């Protein structure tokens, strides 16, 4: 099974509403490794690594709208596999 990775930037109303926790739960359910982090510009950044179908399912799941958050735009770029992550973590932006 081919493993892929994506760097993802999510824009919208995604900070202070539990979105990072939602991303972590979705990634854990799909067996992905990586991270999610609030960015100073109000966006959320993530990197997700796993089999291609699971990563695509993750991106589709976090693209939706919930009562607490609104995703307006998602940018995604494929990146090389990174074995640094053993699970899916919520990180703090350096300097915060």
Catalytic residue check, 3: no
Q: Is 38 a catalytic residue?
A: yes
Q: Which stretches of 1-96 are assigned E, i.e. beta strand? A: 3-13, 33-38, 44-51, 70-79, 88-91
Of 24, 29, 33, 38, catalytic: 38
Q: How far apart are CA 96 and CA 93, in angstroms?
A: 6
Calpha distance 38→36 (Å, rounded): 7
Q: Which residues are catalytic?
A: 20, 38
């Amino acid at each position: 099974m081919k493993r892929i990775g994506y760097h993802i930037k999510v824009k919208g109303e995604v900070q202070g509403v539990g979105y990072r926790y939602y991303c972590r739960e979705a990634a854990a359910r799909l067996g992905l490794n990586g991270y999610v982090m609030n960015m100073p510009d109000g966006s959320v950044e993530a990197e997700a690594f796993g089999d291609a179908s699971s990563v695509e399912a993750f991106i589709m799941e976090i693209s939706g709208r919930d009562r607490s958050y609104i995703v307006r735009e998602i940018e995604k770029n494929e990146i090389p596999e990174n074995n640094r992550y053993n699970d899916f973590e919520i990180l703090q932006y350096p300097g915060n």
